[in-house]
Amino acid sequence: MDITSPGDLWDRVTGSQPDPASWLVLATAAVALAAVLWRPVWQVARNAVTIAHEGGHGLVALLTGRRLDGIRLHSDTSGLTVSRGKPTGAGMILTAAAGYTAPSLLGLGGAWLLAAGHITALLWGATGLLAVMLVMIRNAYGVLTVLVTGALFFCVSWLTGPDVQAVFAYGVVWFLLLGGVRPVFELQAKRRRYGRRGLPFGSGGTAAGGAPDSDADQLARLTHAPAAVWLFLFHTVTLCSLTGGGRWLLGL
C-alpha cells in the first residue's frame, strides 16, 4: 500500500474500490460454500465462526451494561464468554441471543460495505475488532487463533493490491453468511440427539462441541419460551441475512 501521509491513509480506508468481476464474486461464493459443506475444511474454518459467535456475546454484554470477564476459544471450535451482571432481564437475554446471530449479522454488515465499494474499510474494521477482542481472550489457544486471524486481515489490507483484497473480502463475507447458517442446524440436530437419548440439558452456555448445554436452552430458561422458538429465531436471522447479503454481493 503506497501511503505517504495520514491523509492518504484516511482516504484509502474511507474511499471506495472498484467492484470485482461477477465471475469472481460467484467463485468466492462457491469456495465459501465448499468450506462450509466439506467437513474436514469446516472443522478448521469453523474457528472463524466461533470468533464471531463469542465476539457477539461479548459485544452485546458490554452494550447492555454487563461486565465482561473474558472469552475462551477452544481447539474443538467451542467457546465460552463469561460476563457478570443481573442473571435475568433484557441484558442477559440479549447477550445469550447474540451468539448464533452474530456471524450472519456481521456478514450482512460486510455485504453492505462491499456493495458500497468499501473493501479496505471492511478489512481494517475487522482487524480493529479482532484487536479489541484479543484483550479479552483468556486462554492460549484463543490468543493464537485471534492473533493469526487478525494478522491475516492486516497483511491482506496492507500488503496486497485491490484484486487480492477484493477476493479475500468477498470470500470472508460469503463465509460468514453461509457459515452462520450451519451451526444453527448443528445445534438443532444435537438437541434432537440428546432428546432421543433422554439426557437432560444443562444450565446453558456457548459451547459448540459435544456438551448438551446451548444458548437456546439458556434463553428458554430466561424467558420461559420453548427452545424451539429461539431456534426458529436463529434460523430466521441467519437465513434472512444470507438472502439479503447475497443479493447485495451479487448486485441484485
Domain segments of the chain as ranges:
18-250
Residue 98 amino acid letter: A
Is 108:245 a contact under the CB 8 Å cutoff? yes
Checking if the pLDDT of 244 tops 60, the result is yes
* Assigned C-alpha cell, 174: 460469503
The SS3 of residue 79 is strand
**Least confident interval from 26-35, 78-87, 205-214:** 205-214
pLDDT, mean of residues 198-212: 39
Average pLDDT, the chain: 88
pLDDT at 5: 57
Give, for 178, the enclosing helix (H) or strand (E).
helix 162-179
Taking the C-alpha atoms of residue 50 and residue 78, their distance in angstroms, rounded to an integer, is 7
Place of cell 441484558: 91
Checking if the pLDDT of 17 tops 80, the result is no
Q: What is the pTM of this model?
A: 0.89
Checking if the pLDDT of 203 tops 80, the result is no
pLDDT, mean of residues 187-195: 82
Alpha carbon distances (Å) from 63 to 4, 19, 34, 92, 94:
37, 34, 35, 11, 10
Checking if the pLDDT of 1 tops 80, the result is no
